[in-house]
Amino acid sequence: METTVKQPEIKVMPSQVFETLIAGLIYENDLSIISGQATHQNFKLSFYGEQENDYELTVEDFGYDNDGDWVQLEPTEDQFKTMRGKLKMKVMEDNELDKLENVTFPTDLYSFFGVSRGDFFGG
């Protein structure tokens, strides 16, 4: 009979693993939620922010699979700040994109710039 030996549990996500996860974040958003998630080897990171809570960071998964058992870790203060910063940057980026999508251009650029077609094409 085979027995599986579980790896010793770690208490803090190693910095190198965390940085790899942060670099590989994939974002999803809808009208009211922005989320980020990444996996690396047996580690997983996911978090989100809701518009109704001013996109306050909620960490969902932050840990690793230890031979079939999920081990949830607590992010360090620096790791938490990094995730919060990434979420805030994504919120700002999305807000800027929304502004660009709502820009309207005048239909008559000649009058917008104070000239007429005749100034260029004779008339």
Annotate the chain with DSSP letters as a single string: ---PPPPPPPSS--HHHHHHHHHT-EEEE-SSEEEEEEEETTEEEEEEEEGGGTT--EEEEEEEEETTEEEE-PPPHHHHHHHHHHHHHHHHHHHHHHHHHT----S-HHHHTT--THHHH--
CA separation for the pair 114, 104 (Å, rounded): 18
Q: Phi first, then psi: give them for residue 67, nearest 5 degrees.
A: 55, 45
**pLDDT given at position 64:** 95
Segment 79-104 shows an average pLDDT of 85
Please report, as a single letter, which amino acid is at residue 73. L
Check whether 92 has a pLDDT greater than 60: yes
Check whether 1 has a pLDDT greater than 80: no
Q: In what order do the strands lie in the sheet with 43-50?
A: 26-29, 33-40, 43-50, 58-66, 69-72
Prediction pTM value: 0.72
**pLDDT given at position 103:** 67
CA separation for the pair 102, 89 (Å, rounded): 20
Domain boundary assignment for the chain: 15-121
**pLDDT given at position 96:** 75
Structure tokens at 4: 């599986």
pLDDT in tens, 4-61: 555 666 789 999 999 999 999 999 988 789 999 999 999 999 999 999 999 999 999 9
Of 20, 36, 16, which is closest to residue 84 (Cα–Cα)? 36
